[in-house]
Amino acid sequence: MTVHDMKHAASDSARLEAVGGRLSRVDGPAKITGAAHYAFEQQLEGLAHAVLVGATIAAGKVTAIDARAAETAPGVLAVLTPDTIMELKGASDWFGNPPALSTYCPLAREITFSGQHVAAVVAETFEQAVAAAALVKVWYDETPAIVDLSDGKAGDGIPIDAMTKEWGDAQAAFAAAPVRICAAYNTPREFQAAMEPHGLIARWEGDELTVWEPSQWLDGMARTYAEWFDIPFRNVRLVSPYIGGGFGSKALALAHSAVTAAAAKMLGRPVKLVLNRPQNFTSYGGRAATRQTVAIGADKTGRIQSIVHRGVNETAVDGMWVEPLGSVTSIMYATPNFSSKQNVVRVNTVVPGAKRAPGENPSAFGIECAIDELAHELGLDPLEMRLINYAEQDPHAKKAWSTRQLREAFAAGAEAFGWAKRSPQPRSMREGRQLIGWGVAAGTYPVRRAHGEAVVKLLADGSVEVESSSIDMGQGTYTILAQTAAETLGVPVSQVWVKLGDSHFARAGVTGGSRLAGVMTGAVYKAAGQALNELIGLALSDPLSPFHGLQANTLVVRNGRIASPRGDGPELAIAELMSMLGRERIEAKGDTVPPSFTPEQRYNNYTTIAMALPHTEGDYSRYSWCAHFVEVRVDEDFGTVRVSRVVSALDSGRLYNPKLAESQWKGGIIMGIGQALLEEGIVDRRHGRIVNSNFADYMLPTNADIPDIQTISVGIPDPHSSALGGKGVGELGIVGVAPAIANAVFHATGKRVRDLPITLEKLI
């Protein structure tokens, strides 16, 4: 089923299929023909449909719900309210901390944000459920809401001491520095906006629950369901074969998930619930709005003496989210004095969540704009400014970088972009009425690591199965794990079947923070190696084997055929050998978990994020790096900004499949273009509602907004970051894009916009 069978000569296949080869997606044919069934597209007998009713106030309480009209509407099976839905147990959080309350009601009596679910209608058809949901009457006592960070009632918030990073005497050194800049940078509430909405189908059989739900973390979500319904972990099966985009949003079981599973249990029927598009803006958190102040003091040669950074992000009234705003600030540049502190401010919103490169993304917007401002103040080229202050080691952890190809990224990007031809003065490059600006910014993301496991099976017909409860939401997990297993075992990719997205497979932790490829290639490499050793061991020792008595120390497998490395003796296909041995399968479970782990530690390794390995563990500090070079064209009369060219050079270490890695990088860059120019959740100041909760008003980049994008890989294998030498890919690409665009807009117009998105009214 793989494309290389159709498009490439056999001689190309080995090169494409090897780890590091540009193999097309093995799950591609299913996706381009409509054969790929996403989680909530499963067809089940007796399926009922649920639709949610959301709060129309942002703060207060529900005083009464009249469900009579809805209950008697055609096809309605049940109307669930806080009073009628079954009681659930409280579930632990994603760190594994026990719940604050012993019980949980996923429908709210106390309202803390607009859109919060207050009722659900279940009916025979989707249309009946939608119609009946509009008949549910809800009465509220409304209290004043804190609508966003700029609300007068919001206050300064709560200090998060764990975010404080300080060395030297930053305030004094800043005050004494001969050259100083200080500015405030804001990013708005932004949304992941995956094309596939959140939703699920839940089905109970006795006390066993099956949930078909798009998921970035099957094991973590299965744990939550098990705790809500007080059933053993193994009684929950989560299925998520394909995920229509997540970008951080699909890692947790949420209130609507609990409502659906409860409805299915109460009705004794499978229930499907899919959030409509507006509900996808309020049922889970996007990126928190942020405010930062960055002050940099430097000497007259441009060498930084001090960085003082203060940050704030919004969080929910009844939930905590910290967007680490000092993460890039503290490591990008060498400085003898540094101070970063952060507060969070509670507002009436759903609790914010992870969106592509949480923390690093807004952090880079602050520091990478500020460094550009400092370069302008000093009359230095912004690229030279960055090289003058290049951090030769991690300035915070005071450890050597595992690998840092950032200098190489600056050089390769500048060369490909033609940076040397940049005219330094703002407003000095134009074409007719279009002002042209060139900007640069750097980005980074830590290498998040974890322990993993995988099962590899050699089957009687010579095919190979790889099983893992990890997932593929477009990063290419199916493909790179097929490449890893094929290369390790010595079989063609066309003989390998990768099975993902079922929590009853070998366990996997969260797919987030760009950790999956490194964890899973390592686990599959190990499992496939064990399966190969077992095959060779049997071939040499089993009296039924034609290799028995060959006196060989080992055998080799190439292109699915097994032989002696000396060329003597037989050569036969794996299937033939399996048949002679009378074996149906050889199965190996490989893991990278320390042998000392107890079963409970293993369980926590996969179902919480508490066991992740620090990126500064041991002697090294591990990060991916990138440099973005951007050209913008700004209409002098109308202030419209178009990105006309992007060249990005990126260090993600070794790439397991450059074709797919480049796609992810470009995807991150494009999301960064949206962040810079288009995306902003707008809150109605009267009612605390997101007023642009749809794809017409919350503007995502379209094809017409995106120019040619050139990506250049400058990475080298990093043995300290992963088993096969890769670092992170998916999160990296977006980090630094928005500041590169903001810096280019300044170069084009002479106007510094420090408030994202950079819309035309801010330029005219």
Choose, by CB under 8 A, the member of 104, 140, 167, 497 that binds other proteins.
Answer: 140
The C-alpha atoms of residue 149 and residue 734 are separated, in whole angstroms, by: 24
The C-alpha atoms of residue 429 and residue 572 are separated, in whole angstroms, by: 67
DSSP of 219-250: HHHHHHHHHHTT--GGGEEEE-S--S--TTTT
Contact 118, 107 (CB under 8 A): yes
Strand-pairing partners, residue 563, are 556, 571
Residue 25 touches other proteins, criterion: CB under 8 A: yes
Backbone φ and ψ for 63, nearest 5 degrees, come out as -100, -30
Strand-pairing partners, residue 401, are 621
Residue 405 touches other proteins, criterion: CB under 8 A: no
Binding mask 148-187 for other proteins (x = CB under 8 A): ----------------------------------------
CB of 500 to other proteins, least distance (A): 13
Choose, by CB under 8 A, the member of 100, 101, 420, 704 that binds other proteins.
Answer: 704
Backbone φ and ψ for 533, nearest 5 degrees, come out as -60, -40
| Among the listed residues 132, 122, 136, 129, the one whose alpha carbon sits nearest the alpha carbon of residue 54 | 136
Binding mask 77-116 for other proteins (x = CB under 8 A): ----------------------------------------
Binding mask 542-581 for other proteins (x = CB under 8 A): ----------------------------------------
Choose, by CB under 8 A, the member of 469, 475, 692, 749 that binds other proteins.
Answer: 475
Choose, by CB under 8 A, the member of 489, 540, 709, 712 that binds other proteins.
Answer: 709
Binding mask 208-247 for other proteins (x = CB under 8 A): ----------------------------------xxxx-x
**Terminal Cα-to-Cα distance of the chain (whole angstroms):** 54
Choose, by CB under 8 A, the member of 339, 663, 692, 743 that binds other proteins.
Answer: 663
Output the six-digit token pair for 617.
């563990």
DSSP 548: T
CB of 502 to other proteins, least distance (A): 18
Dihedral angle sign, alpha carbons of residues 592, 596, 600, 604? negative
| Among the listed residues 757, 755, 763, 761, the one whose alpha carbon sits nearest the alpha carbon of residue 292 | 755
CB of 233 to other proteins, least distance (A): 28
Residues 30-49 that bind other proteins (CB under 8 A): 30-38, 41, 43
Residues 270-309 that bind other proteins (CB under 8 A): 274, 276-277
| Among the listed residues 473, 485, 479, 482, the one whose alpha carbon sits nearest the alpha carbon of residue 25 | 479
Which among 17, 467, 662, 731 is annotated as catalytic? 731
Backbone φ and ψ for 744, nearest 5 degrees, come out as -70, -40
CB of 41 to other proteins, least distance (A): 4
Give the range of 337-345, 403-411, 569-577, 701-709 binding other proteins by CB under 8 A.
Answer: 701-709
Residue 508 touches other proteins, criterion: CB under 8 A: no
Residue 144 touches other proteins, criterion: CB under 8 A: yes
In terms of CB distance, is 143 or 541 closer to other proteins?
143
Residues present in the chain in total: 764
The C-alpha atoms of residue 505 and residue 500 are separated, in whole angstroms, by: 8
Residues 572-631 that bind other proteins (CB under 8 A): none
Is 731 noted as a catalytic residue in this protein? yes
Helix, strand, coil shares, percent, the chain, to 5 = 30, 25, 45
Give the range of 123-131, 156-164, 180-188, 374-382 binding other proteins by CB under 8 A.
Answer: 123-131
Backbone φ and ψ for 545, nearest 5 degrees, come out as -85, 140
Instruction: Cite the active site residues.
Output: 731
